[in-house]
Chain A
Amino acid sequence: MRQLLTTALDAATDAGATYVDVRVLEAVSESLSTRGAIVEGLDRSESLGYGVRVLRNGAWGYAASPRLDLGEVSRIARMAVEVAEASSTSQTRPVELVDEPVHVATWVTPVERDPFAVSLEEKLGPLLEASEAMERVKGIRVGRGTMDLHRQRSWFLTSEGTDLDQTIVNVGAGIEATAVNDGDVQQRSYPGSFRGHFEAGGYDIVERMDLAGNAEQTAEETLALIRAPECPAGTTTLVLDGHQVMLQVHESVGHPTELDRVLGMEAAFAGTSFVGIPELGSLRYGSEHVTIQSDATSPGGLGTYGYDDEGVEAQRVDLVREGILVGFQSSRETAAAMGADRSNGTMRAEGWENFPLIRMPNINLLPGSGSLEDLISEVEEGVYMSTNKSWSIDDKRKNFQFGCEIGWEIKRGKLTRIVKNPRYTGITPVFWGSCDAVAGEDEWRMHGTPNCGKGQPGQTMRVGHGTAPARFRGVSVGVSQ
């Protein structure tokens, strides 16, 4: 690997690059899925390749390949320089990078039980047990179990001397029941939707989920949804569980505070942001209960690492402090563009194929106090919604509509009947401004989404969110049509 890294670095430097970084990545993954008694998917994947990123004439170039012979490595490095020269034909101002100390380090995700050392038989066991148990419940059409395991090791070398070796391990698993009745399809999942709950770490995380032990309740709640009335429309108090707060943070705080979006670099595809650099330190983003951090050091997060993909050390920074916008997620280039001294280390790339972008590490809503029960007990009338189901937000991240799998009406401080298709809508700063409580540390969990999309060519990224249930007043709910 060392020879590949130095060959690429030398070839790009010899071709005239003024900055070079080379990233070699080896990834292995395993994806299991069961439906009832059938193993529908049993897929293993290995990916090995490298990417060379250069600056030449003040412009970026990137080239990547899985072909490992040194002749091809040199060709790809020279290609990156050729790409940068082409980029410079439209350049109006040269790319500048803020300084970052040179790092020579090894970093590894702490893992209690290596998920790739566990037999497939052991891994399939709880999935099959759960999916079969759900399909045995009368009225359940489909019971499904999924498990996704991922390990990647990267070697990173720059012309500035940074030399890194990182290994990251993620696991995820979940179950889902589907019921169908007269044109109505309802789904309920555990412990999270869209293939379950994801964290960084070992197989012990999956073991603690007790998928099989939760199959019956998941199936019963699905059937209850089929029988339930629609969530009534109106303006009311909304309590969200931690899973849905994850989605709320992701879409309406994580993305709008990505500095590339703020600067207009993602305008054509993902969009821009309703916040701007001049508003830093003054914009009221939410109530005083809302403090949100970008934290690449949080234990267990899908966005937890030692160094980002341009060699910047992982950091924890405030984005929103007691309701005021105080920070952005940045890169070395965008930090320079806004006049900051240092990148806060959020550049990541999917695989070896892709140019790194600003990607959320772990965007965490800090806990408040009390329990979920306490939050609900202070609601005269409202709705409690759980587990994300749908999401849509405008190109400036302001007007949103989100939906959950299940809701419960709240009457006089107690959960009452289940309601189906619960959805709510809002305007980002107004919604966060209506937050009057966040539950405490005992309710705070690290959640993860492995499929955040951004960039062209499209990249999906693993992102973490530490959240607790939260309460919002005066929210428009039940707003499907």
Chain B
Amino acid sequence: MSRDFAEVPVDHADARRAAESVLDFPGADDVEVSVMGSQTGVTRYALSEIIQNTVRNEVRAYVRVVTGRQVATAVTTQLDAGHMNRAAASALEAARQSRPDEEWPGLPSPDVVGHAQGCWRYDDATAAATPKERAAQVVRLLSASEADNTSGVFETSAHSFSVLSSAGVDCADAHTRCVTTCLVDTGEATGWGEDSSHRLDRVDAEAAARRALDKARRGTGAIDAPTGRHQVVLEPAAVATMLEYLSYCGMGAKQFIDGESFLIGQTGKQLAAPGITLADDVWHAHSVGIGFDFEGVPKKRVAVIDQGTATGPVTDWRTSRKLKTEPTGHYSGSTEFGPYASHLVLDRGGDSLDELISGVDDGLLVTRFHYVNVLDRPSTLLTGMTRDGTFRITKGEVGGAVHNFRFAHSVLDALRSTSGVGRELAAFAPDYGSFGGTVAPALRVEDFNFASTTSH
């Protein structure tokens, strides 16, 4: 059996060779080249058989060209000198037709922002996993699920990233990722399990299937429960989703500067319960990502909420100059979008899941949320549905299943009324793209609003 991938997606030497063909492009004052490579195998199963199975190799070079204070970017999927030069010429032509950006801070120099290091969460065995190995994992998972309607994915991928610039940036990183998800549908109820790591051998697909099966079996006979405010225990998957939307609500400095962030006027104030420390931290042991941003600025751990107290947003080179702070290395690749916190870690607490549940007299246990969206950014008000396992908790014991709810609640209100933080951390890969990830424990929240219910 051959390997899917013979090497790291794009070796840094190849990225450097591509970049060097345009770093001194005639007519440009500065040039920055970011090269991303990925090799992804996704085995997707439903109705208890593999339905889609893909292997894809991807390469993209982002060529950002500066002339005076005029800036533009061109992207190509081909790294040969001809295509790279065409991209640089296209970007230069665009920049020349643009208007000078009076806020342009120049490209960041490593002498000013520091020299970037890679995280190198890279595992050869994960990168080299074959279609046959992924299929074998799915076959074992399907056996463990004991159901004829099980669905999900088993994914292995490898990703490389290099940034080089005429300002002296020259850095590289690579990571791998293994993700499994499992939904068991018994016909009467569904249950969910998932696992992810940068190492294939740390992902237990069969255990995820057994958790999904257990949830689905316990979901049988679900009944309506009253809407309104409830004490809840949110399992890590539900917490991770809330935190990802909190990031969207304004952890970045661009939203902060534009007046749209929940952090405005809150610095130094108590935003959450004292047990809540929420950081963007790609260096955390459970995080999977790269050690610098899309401009090659070293990525720092930023505790946006530290023991309940708001500190400040994550920044990039441009916004840090405006705020007169140090850049934290969170450039998203888009000046329009601004810096972004994409590696959230909520610190663990001291309680087991059972201990969190034991503190609930009359409430609900939520496995995960579905199709969440923001209703109001400044107040961090979200709506979304529960799915795949929502249960009544009575006098500290998990009871029968209830029909799914629509919630309408502020993330900050949930974090303010948190009375317990789990001691087990779970890592979650993003639904889209290779970058980012969230690490979260379970939470017990004293007051959480459910607005309506559905019939399943």
Contacts and interface: CB of A to CB of B under 8 A. Distances in A.
Q: 9 tightest A-B contacts by CB?
A: A86-B131, A180-B259, A120-B97, A458-B432, A86-B135, A45-B75, A42-B72, A268-B183, A399-B454
A215 B406 CA distance: 37
Nearest to B44: A456
B259 A44 contact: no
A48 B452 contact: no
A394 B72 contact: no
B55 to A, nearest CB: 5
A456 B432 CA distance: 8
A445 to B, nearest CB: 25
Interface stretch (B98-106, B270-278, B295-303, B418-426): B98-106
Contacts of A183: 264, 378-379
A37 interface: yes
Contacts of A282: none
A128 B456 CA distance: 50
Given A92-B49, A121-B97, A481-B449, A35 B336 contact: yes
Most interface-central of A46, A90, A390, A398 (chain B CB within 10 A): A90
Nearest to B456: A396
B190 to A, nearest CB: 8
A87 interface: yes
A42 B433 contact: no
Interface stretch (B24-32, B284-292, B339-347, B383-391): B383-391
Contacts of A294: none
B129 to A, nearest CB: 11
A185 B379 CA distance: 10
B136 A425 contact: no
Contacts of B431: 269, 456, 458
A399 B452 contact: yes
Q: Per DSSP, are chain A's interface residues mostly helix, strand or loop, or mixed? A: mixed
B2 A48 contact: no
A394 B71 contact: no
Nearest to A29: B75
A403 B183 CA distance: 30
Given A86-B43, A394-B404, A481-B381, A119 B336 contact: no
Contact of B373 (A355, A390, A396): A390
B259 A264 contact: no
Given A86-B132, A90-B49, A40 B336 contact: yes
A39 B42 contact: no
Interface string B386-419: 0100000000000000001010110000000000
Interface stretch (A62-70, A201-209, A366-374): A62-70
B6 to A, nearest CB: 9
Given A42-B98, A43-B72, A399-B406, A268 B151 contact: yes
B54 A457 contact: yes
A45 B44 contact: no
Given A392-B406, A458-B432, A480-B381, A142 B373 contact: no
Nearest to A267: B151
Nearest to B212: A268
Interface in A29-77: 33, 35, 37-49, 51, 59-68, 76
B71 A395 contact: no
A263 B51 CA distance: 12
B107 to A, nearest CB: 16
B41 to A, nearest CB: 8
A42 B66 CA distance: 12
A64 B375 contact: no
B258 interface: yes
A64 B385 contact: no
A263 B73 contact: no
Nearest to B70: A39
Q: How large is the interface on B (under 10, 10 to 19, 20 to 34, 35 or more residues)?
A: 35 or more
Interface string B16-58: 0000000000000000000000001111111111111111111
A41 B260 contact: no
Interface in A375-394: 390-394
A64 B260 contact: no
Contacts of B41: 83
B335 A265 contact: no
Contacts of A141: 258-259
B128 to A, nearest CB: 14
B54 A83 contact: yes
Contacts of B374: 390
11 contacts: A42-B73, A60-B53, A66-B77, A91-B49, A390-B383, A391-B373, A392-B372, A395-B370, A401-B406, A401-B451, A481-B451
B71 to A, nearest CB: 7
A62 B98 contact: no
A46 B50 CA distance: 33
Contacts of B454: 394, 396, 398-399, 427
Contact of A394 (B264, B387, B408): B387
Interface string A173-191: 0000010100111000000
B74 A46 contact: yes
Given A33-B336, A399-B454, A267 B54 contact: no
A307 B186 CA distance: 38
B90 interface: yes
A33 B99 CA distance: 12
Nearest to B53: A87
Contacts of A90: 45, 48-50, 135, 138-139, 142
B78 A48 contact: yes
Contacts of A453: 432
